[in-house]
């Protein structure tokens, strides 16, 4: 039989919304005869099972019910109906500073948190050196927590939660405030937990992290489980849904009124497509293939090594501005992957009034699996002043058959040889 660490059945959470404190008092004094509240259902019947040694990702919009679900599982709030079972000890990282006394030092808060979790002082003494070393707070460990930044609080909270060696670890978006160095330490610790047979509930807006960490993903929408499945499938469906919420191209441009008022150079349209015969050129073939709102032809997923074309239609509307074209590719966690610059590529700046088109060819794209945004820029000869920019309305989704850590897979070759001992 399958060994489950967490089993949740039809969890429902409703909150009472009162127009004011007087209405709350009136309802209490009526002894149930009158109601002055409206019911808000934050969670509407979510159920799942999590196998021991697996990681389950939870994604969704703000207000969808993700945090409510995790608070119920962590025991910080009770469900209105439904039930759940966690088999083993649990540690949670839900909100920064939860459970910490701001006037106590970091070291004192370690003892406080440990005792709340049921450990004796002797057991905490055995772990405190490891907790302090992992947090890397230096002399600040003996300073009041009220003097800590959000990143320092995250370091302390993660170190305490993972040092107690729980059977189930619940993480709700807390890694977002950490620096890149400590984020890597946390991810490494999470993988160590999985390898040790621990179970993880991981909630994050970083779809890249979700795909890398989780074995399965649940998409929560309006308090219900919209989809459950493999990380690649669910995150792709969710990303497409997020993009569908705003299909107005003006919402992904610079949006500056002075771009129109001062007659500065402006981007009219961007297109991203595979560089394949019959797709790289616009026309009837592109329409038949199913163009997006801006005329681009791009599959939902591409593999590393594909050839891409990025087209930018723009206009110089008055004499004077010297215009160069740039393109940047960002991973969706805002890490810059690559940039391209017409001026650095040896092209002269443009000054002629009228419409222009830039076609950037990207052969053999070597980006590893992930989700990327592609942004076009118009800027002056100094490279400092930006006239306009526009993000392509569909993110670039890259998948791969094997897991290659990192962002870019460079061309390479290995040579191995045996050296006789001297």
Residue 113 lies in a domain: yes
Q: Which residue has the tokens 């021991």?
A: 52
Which CATH number fits the domain that encloses residue 345?
Answer: 2.70.50.60
Same domain, 37 and 118: yes
Same domain, 313 and 222: no
Q: Tell me how far CA of residue 368 lies from CA of 234, 275, 292, 371, in angstroms.
A: 19, 19, 24, 9
Residues in Cβ contact with 149 at an 8 Å cutoff, skipping those fewer than 6 apart: none
Residue 414 lies in a domain: no
Q: Which of 183, 215, 244 is the last residue of a domain?
A: 244
Contact 210, 57 (CB under 8 A): yes
Residue 411 lies in a domain: no
Residue 316 lies in a domain: yes
Contact 199, 3 (CB under 8 A): no
Give the orientation angle of helix 106-116 with respect to helix 121-135, to 10 degrees: 130
Same domain, 91 and 204: yes
Same domain, 239 and 280: no
Same domain, 153 and 197: yes
For position 287, what pLDDT does the model report? 39
For position 393, what pLDDT does the model report? 85
Same domain, 202 and 335: no
Q: Is 192 helix (H, G, I), strand (E, B) or coil?
A: helix
DSSP 296: -
CA nearest to 156, candidates 177, 72, 170, 56: 177
Q: Which of 198, 228, 244 is the last residue of a domain?
A: 244
Residues in the chain: 422
Contact 253, 392 (CB under 8 A): no
| DSSP structure string for 226-277 | EEEE-HHHHHHHHHHHHHHT---GGGGB---HHHHHTT--EEEEEEEEE--T
**Count of C-beta atoms within a 10 Å radius of residue 418:** 5
**Count of C-beta atoms within a 10 Å radius of residue 119:** 17
pLDDT tens for the 422 residues of the chain, in order:
678 999 999 999 998 888 888 888 888 888 878 888 888 889 999 999 999 989 999 999 888 899 899 999 988 899 999 999 999 888 888 766 667 888 999 999 898 888 877 778 888 888 899 899 988 888 999 999 899 988 888 888 888 888 877 889 898 877 766 676 787 788 888 888 888 888 999 998 888 788 888 999 999 999 999 999 998 889 888 877 876 665 444 444 444 443 444 688 999 999 999 986 544 444 333 333 334 333 346 788 888 888 999 999 999 998 888 899 999 999 877 788 999 999 999 999 999 999 999 999 999 999 988 889 899 999 888 776 788 889 998 888 888 877 777 888 888 899 999 898 76
Same domain, 131 and 92: yes
Same domain, 101 and 129: yes
For position 50, what pLDDT does the model report? 93
Q: Into how many domains does the chain fold?
A: 2
Which CATH number fits the domain that encloses residue 213?
Answer: 3.40.50.300
**β-bridge partners, 90:** 168
Question: How far is the C-alpha of 231 from the C-alpha of 163, rounded, in Å?
Answer: 28
Contact 314, 378 (CB under 8 A): yes
Same domain, 174 and 267: no
Same domain, 152 and 82: yes
Contact 260, 285 (CB under 8 A): no
Residue 231 lies in a domain: yes
Contact 113, 91 (CB under 8 A): no
CA nearest to 393, candidates 183, 248, 179, 205: 248
Question: How far is the C-alpha of 315 from the C-alpha of 231, rounded, in Å?
Answer: 41
State residue 361 phi and psi, 5-degree precision: -95, 135
Residue 412 lies in a domain: no
Q: Which of 222, 244, 266 is the last residue of a domain?
A: 244
Residue 417 lies in a domain: no
Question: How far is the C-alpha of 224 from the C-alpha of 377, rounded, in Å?
Answer: 40
Kindly tell me the burial class for residue 174, based on how many C-beta atoms sit within 10 Å of its own C-beta (0-12, 13-18, 19 or more): buried
Q: Is 352 helix (H, G, I), strand (E, B) or coil?
A: coil
Residue 202 lies in a domain: yes
Give the orientation angle of helix 150-163 with respect to helix 106-116, to 10 degrees: 40
Residues in Cβ contact with 65 at an 8 Å cutoff, skipping those fewer than 6 apart: 13, 42, 43, 44, 46, 220, 222, 223, 224
CA nearest to 53, candidates 83, 87, 84, 76: 87
CA nearest to 11, candidates 103, 90, 73: 73
Contact 202, 187 (CB under 8 A): no
Same domain, 294 and 238: no
For position 254, what pLDDT does the model report? 42
Same domain, 240 and 263: no
Domain range holding 126?
4-244
For position 215, what pLDDT does the model report? 92
Question: How far is the C-alpha of 308 from the C-alpha of 318, rounded, in Å?
Answer: 32
Contact 373, 334 (CB under 8 A): no
Contact 85, 6 (CB under 8 A): yes
């Amino acid at each position: 039989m399958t060994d489950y660490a967490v089993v949740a059945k039809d969890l429902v959470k409703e909150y009472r919304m009162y127009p004011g404190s007087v209405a709350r008092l009136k309802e209490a004094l009526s002894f149930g005869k009158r109601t002055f509240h409206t019911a808000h259902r934050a969670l509407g019947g979510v159920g799942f099972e999590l196998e021991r040694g697996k990681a389950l990702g939870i994604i969704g919009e703000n207000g969808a019910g993700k945090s409510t679900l995790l608070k119920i599982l962590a025991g910080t709030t009770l469900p209105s109906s439904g039930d759940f079972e966690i088999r083993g000890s649990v540690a949670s990282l839900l909100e920064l500073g939860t459970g910490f006394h701001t006037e106590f030092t970091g070291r004192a808060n370690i003892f406080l948190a440990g005792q709340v979790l049921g450990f004796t002082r002797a057991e905490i003494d055995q772990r405190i050196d490891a907790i302090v070393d992992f947090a890397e707070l230096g002399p600040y460990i003996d300073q009041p927590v009220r003097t800590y930044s959000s990143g320092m609080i995250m370091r302390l909270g993660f170190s305490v939660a993972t040092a107690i060696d729980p059977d189930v670890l619940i993480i709700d978006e807390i890694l977002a405030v950490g620096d890149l160095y400590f984020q890597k330490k946390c991810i490494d610790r999470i993988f160590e937990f999985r390898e040790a047979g621990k179970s993880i509930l991981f909630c994050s807006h970083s779809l890249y992290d979700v795909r890398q960490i989780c074995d399965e993903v649940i998409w929560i929408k309006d308090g219900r489980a919209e989809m459950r499945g493999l990380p690649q499938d669910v995150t792709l469906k969710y990303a497409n849904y997020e993009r569908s919420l705003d299909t107005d191209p003006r919402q992904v441009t610079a949006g500056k009124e002075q771009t129109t008022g001062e007659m500065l150079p402006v981007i009219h349209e961007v297109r991203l497509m595979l560089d394949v015969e019959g797709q790289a050129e616009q026309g009837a073939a592109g329409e038949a293939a199913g163009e997006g709102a801006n005329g681009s032809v791009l599959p939902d997923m591409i593999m590393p090594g594909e050839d891409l074309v990025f087209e930018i239609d723009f206009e110089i509307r008055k004499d004077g501005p010297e215009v160069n074209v740039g393109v940047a590719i960002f991973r969706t966690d805002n890490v810059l992957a690559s940039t391209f610059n017409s001026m650095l590529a040896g092209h002269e700046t443009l000054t002629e009034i009228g419409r222009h088109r830039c076609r950037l060819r990207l052969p053999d794209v070597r980006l590893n699996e992930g989700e990327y945004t592609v942004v076009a820029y118009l800027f002056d000869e100094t490279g400092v002043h930006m006239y306009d920019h526009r993000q392509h309305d569909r993110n670039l989704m890259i998948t791969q058959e094997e897991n290659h850590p990192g962002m870019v897979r460079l061309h390479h070759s290995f040579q191995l040889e045996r050296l006789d001992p001297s």
